[in-house]
Amino acid sequence: MDFAFTRDERNKLLNRREVAFTLTFEGATPSRQNIQSKIAALLNQKEDLVVLDSLKTSFGKMEVTGVARIYDDEESKQRTEREYLVKRGKAAEESEA
């Protein structure tokens, strides 16, 4: 899995960092949980503060483009993030346990 960050902006008003990325991979498409944990590791952030907004794959390419938001704290995340996006990031984690 190779990441290339195409945009990295700081949103001071909402206490978050907004990144756009391109991910190239081999084999099966990585899960949202795998992508979320890889972004957290690459940017030295806590995994529970990373929220994936959109992921798009192109037919015939081993490539995913997406947008992620990294919050400064849990309170900022709960105040501004849509609930269904927060649940998507945790769904795989809860089913594995």
* Percentage above 90 pLDDT, the chain: 74
* CATH code of the region 2-96: 3.30.70.330
pLDDT higher than threshold 90 for residue 44: yes
Chain-centre distance for alpha carbon 32: 7
List, in order, residues 6 or more apart from 35 with CB less than 8 Å away.
23, 52, 55, 64, 66
Task: Summarize the confidence of residues 75-85 as an average pLDDT.
Answer: 91
Which pLDDT band, with edges at 50, 70 and 90, does 43 fall under? very high
pTM of the model: 0.84
Q: Which helix (H) or strand (E) holds 52?
A: strand 50-57
Residue written as tokens 């690459």? 42
**Could you state, in order of their start, the residue ranges of all structural domains in the chain?**
2-96
Residues 47-68: tens digit of each pLDDT: 999 999 999 998 889 999 999 9
